[in-house]
Structure 1
Amino acid sequence: MDVLNTKSQLESARNVHDLSSLNRLREAAYSKDDKALKEAAQQFEAIFVQMMLKSMRKAQDAMADKDSPFNTEEVKFYRDMHDKQLAQDLSSGGGVGLAEIIVQQLGQHDINDYIPASVARNDGNLASLNRQREFRIEQAQQTAELLSDPQSQQAFKTAAFSNPQEFVEQLWPAASKAAEELGIEPRALLAQAAVETGWGQHVIHHGSGNSANNLFGIKANSNWQGESATVNTMEFDGTVARQQRAAFRSYDNLQQGFEDYVQFIRGQERYRPAVENAGDPKTYFKALQDAGYATDPQYADKVMAVYNSDSLRSYLP
């Protein structure tokens, strides 16, 4: 009896002029009947296509001859009926692919099989996107706490080095020591610091003018007990860059900044794949990006571009 009832609902819903069809389709879809869900998805796609056709008709009407016998209200009435049925026929015959996506999204009975819309659009890596999303939420919560903390000093970014050569020469000793502990090349750490600070031209400074010595953009989370500096920073939401204020860790000197970077990377489970591949800079930075170290979708490529550049090589001791 339930099967016959569902079939009756679907047959009735195929008439796009039946105003109660969507409600019946919704009820049929709730029955977890895959056929009902497919029909509901096709109906929704038909509505979407109908809206597109209606928008195109409006644009056409704006330029139409008002005195034309084909521009009467009666003609428009029957034309709209035709468009509605045309939209339904198109969706039933394959349509524009929207129905298929809806079925894929709503037809997952196991929550672990759910595919977010961002993945469906971009063919992204689900595990990576989940980690980045969780990391961004965590950072947002922690930053909100720190922004209300009077100990987090207002800061600004300015040059801490005269030129790239001075940047490399001054950082080489600290980079070499940190690289040995992490099992990575010093050149890789210098490349990352160069990307984070624009070769030392955009280093965080306190309002007093003293450098925060933070060359790796490590933010001050709720577990950070040291000083912090609040400054404008650029974060990416997908491929869209947005400016926001955030609190960053502050160090007494450059060596301390490098040491904290090593502890930060080695002390978090999500960066384990990066640590395990520290001997391969390309894999290392890709693993950092996948784990949510940076929101820039091109972060790993940018670091590797500097790492492989002749400019960096020429500055090395």
Structure 2
Amino acid sequence: MDLTSATKSQLEMSRNYHDMGSVNKLREAAQSGDEGALEEAAKQFEAIFVQMMLKSMRKAQDALADKDSPFSTEQVKFYREMHDKQLATDLSANGSIGLAEVIMQQMSPGNGVIPASAVRSDGNLSVLNRHNVAAIQNAQDRVMGTNNENVAKGSAFKEAGFASPQEFVKALYPHAVEAAKELNMDPKAMIAQAAVETGWGKSLIHKKDGENSHNLFGIKADKRWDGEKATIDTLEFVNNVPEKQQASFRSYGSFTHSMEDYVDFIKTNPRYEQAIQKSESPADYFNALQEAGYATDPKYAEKVMSVFNGNILGELIP
């Protein structure tokens, strides 16, 4: 439906984050059933979503920033927040992400169409998740140094051990089947946890001599461990805020050894008794692991389950 010049101008102005009067005009037009207003409302919703992502990224950046930097002042943060909000609005108006289009398809009166992409098991967020993973990895590289820098310093580093998720699953699943029997759990759940810990094998800890540690589950080398270990910078969450720390991780001779030690680590540690009792349910198991302190990431269980229920494992494991 074509819009009048006046209405179209009002809707275009509603894209400006600072123009609150035009946003009110958009609300009034949407209530009248204007399809153009529905489109703009969808773009506004997308803008809010993008704004939330930018805010989360800024929060993580601030946690790692130099407090004495002139770019860390409250004034800079104030204007940066205004910029981010307008940027989110502009990105949604240009259709850069595509969320508004999906909303339009589902909300348009009489459409009756639910796109297949909207009912996928991962909510059609696969591409977005991959971008988020890449962004997180880039942020970690900037904070903790790249692999080349770590090698030059003679430090442990992270490096890819597999070319693709398919290769990762194909190599590890047969061993996971055997190890998972000891915990009475789905081997697919064990693969999902290893995928989260290592980024599908793209971020495996290597010792300073370049030897692969084969550590699939991020198990640290505490006082009970008398084997080989690799010390590396890592990000831990302290009061839900990421913090750079240095930690020593267990090093194994093979991935099979890593899985066997994971089983032993879980079974012999009293704090994970509740998790073992719930091992038949992956969601309950990983929630219990998180509550017992297996990982400091407050969304650890959620991340593992998103991989467990995602398309990659669904396609590779029957």
Q: State the TM-score, normalized to the length of structure 2.
A: 0.51
C-alpha contact 1:155 1:229 (8 A) present in aligned 2: yes
Query: Which residue does the alignment assign to 1:268?
Result: 269
Q: Write the distance in 2 (CA, Å) between the matches of 1:185 and 1:234.
A: 28
C-alpha contact 1:234 1:244 (8 A) present in aligned 2: yes
Structure 2 matches for 1:217-256, cutoff 5 A? 217-256=218-257
Deviation at 1:191, TM superposition (A): 0.4
The CA deviation string for residues 281-310 of structure 1, in whole angstroms up to 9 with x for no partner, is 000000000000000000000000000001
Q: Write the distance in 2 (CA, Å) between the matches of 1:234 and 1:311.
A: 26
Query: Which residue does the alignment assign to 1:140?
Result: none
Q: Secondary structure at the match of 2:205?
A: strand
Query: Which residue does the alignment assign to 1:313?
Result: 314
Q: Write the distance in 2 (CA, Å) between the matches of 1:312 and 1:207.
A: 32
- 2:305 counterpart letter in structure 1: M
- 1:183 counterpart letter in structure 2: N
Q: Secondary structure at the match of 1:259?
A: helix
Q: Write the distance in 2 (CA, Å) between the matches of 1:259 and 1:204.
A: 18
Q: Secondary structure at the match of 2:182?
A: helix
- 1:310 counterpart letter in structure 2: N
Q: Secondary structure at the match of 1:209?
A: coil
Q: Write the distance in 1 (CA, Å) between the matches of 2:244 and 2:174.
A: 33
Deviation at 1:161, TM superposition (A): 0.3
Deviation at 1:272, TM superposition (A): 0.1
Query: Which residue does the alignment assign to 1:297?
Result: 298
RMSD across aligned positions (CA): 1.1
- 1:190 counterpart letter in structure 2: I
Deviation at 1:154, TM superposition (A): 3.7
Q: Write the distance in 2 (CA, Å) between the matches of 1:261 and 1:245.
A: 21
Gaps of 5+ in 1: 1-152
C-alpha contact 1:238 1:297 (8 A) present in aligned 2: no
C-alpha contact 1:169 1:316 (8 A) present in aligned 2: no
Query: Which residue does the alignment assign to 1:170?
Result: 171
Aligned residues: 165
Query: Which residue does the alignment assign to 2:187?
Result: 186
Which portions of structure 1, spanning 4 or more consecutive aligned residues, are displaced by more than 6 angstroms? none
Q: Secondary structure at the match of 1:222?
A: coil
- 1:211 counterpart letter in structure 2: N
Q: Which has the larger radius of gyration?
A: 1
Residue 200 of structure 2 is aligned to residue 199 of structure 1: yes
Deviation at 1:316, TM superposition (A): 2.1
Of 270-279 and 307-316, the range deviating more from structure 2: 307-316
Q: Secondary structure at the match of 1:294?
A: coil
Structure 2 matches for 1:205-216, cutoff 5 A? 205-216=206-217
Q: Percent identity?
A: 52
C-alpha contact 1:178 1:262 (8 A) present in aligned 2: yes
Deviation at 1:206, TM superposition (A): 1.2
- 1:167 counterpart letter in structure 2: F
Q: Write the distance in 2 (CA, Å) between the matches of 1:315 and 1:207.
A: 33
The CA deviation string for residues 215-253 of structure 1, in whole angstroms up to 9 with x for no partner, is 100000011010000011110012201111100000000
The CA deviation string for residues 127-169 of structure 1, in whole angstroms up to 9 with x for no partner, is xxxxxxxxxxxxxxxxxxxxxxxxxx94100100000000000
Q: Write the distance in 2 (CA, Å) between the matches of 1:192 and 1:296.
A: 13
C-alpha contact 1:274 1:287 (8 A) present in aligned 2: yes
Query: Which residue does the alignment assign to 1:160?
Result: 161
Deviation at 1:183, TM superposition (A): 0.5
Query: Which residue does the alignment assign to 1:88?
Result: none
C-alpha contact 1:213 1:252 (8 A) present in aligned 2: yes
The CA deviation string for residues 45-78 of structure 1, in whole angstroms up to 9 with x for no partner, is xxxxxxxxxxxxxxxxxxxxxxxxxxxxxxxxxx
